[in-house]
Amino acid sequence: MYCQDPDERADLLQEMLYQLWKAYPGFGGRSSFTTWMYRVCLNTALTWFRKSTRKNWESLSLSHQQIPEPPTGPEEEQRQALFQAIATLSPLNKAIVLLYLDEVSYEEIASITGLTKSNVSVRLVRIKKELESQLKKQANSPDNVNS
């Protein structure tokens, strides 16, 4: 979700693996390994995102592609609409909702993001409302209305 370009996504994955390898000696066991791993990867993604937004690069949008992808059914269209809506969120909210979709507990999300459990809960309620609103707007847009 932080990189639309497959090559950039591969580079980010390599950076995450490098940061995990580099940070592993400092893993003290104060949290579960997966929580620590999520935190390192999230921080790496956020740092990557901040650095990439400083560059004036503009990635190609889906409308710039020369070969359109054929529709693969309503479930795939709903999934794509959800991920497009998630992509518009702030980096922290995007991380929270992706962790939630990965079925990470509120406690772990709080530990990974540095927020309190109650703050995670409140943010998720607000994020869900925002995503629902965006999905309704997408569904009612002239491009999606069947004639």
Give, in words, the CATH class of 74-147: mainly alpha
Instruction: State residue 20's pLDDT score.
Output: 92
The span from the CA of 55 to the CA of 90, in Å, is 18
Please give the model's pTM, rounded to 2 decimal places.
Answer: 0.58
The span from the CA of 3 to the CA of 10, in Å, is 9
Q: How confident is the model at residue 106 (pLDDT cuts 50, 70, 90)?
A: very high
Higher-scoring residue by pLDDT: 51, 28? 28
pLDDT at 47 over 50: yes
Read off the pLDDT of residues 50-96 as tens digits, 9 standing for 90 and up: 776 555 445 555 555 555 555 567 777 888 888 888 888 888 899 89
In sequence order, the 6+-apart residues with CB closer than 8 A to the CB of 97 are 86, 89, 124, 127, 131
Instruction: State residue 17's pLDDT score.
Output: 92
Average pLDDT for residues 36-41, to the nearest whole number? 88
Read off the pLDDT of residues 107-142 as tens digits, 9 standing for 90 and up: 999 988 889 999 999 999 999 999 999 888 887 876
Q: How do the domains of the chain map onto residue ranges? A: 1-55, 74-147
Instruction: State residue 147's pLDDT score.
Output: 39
**Segment holding 94, helix H or strand E:** helix 91-101
CB 96, CB 120: distance < 8 Å: yes
Average pLDDT for residues 96-101, to the nearest whole number? 90
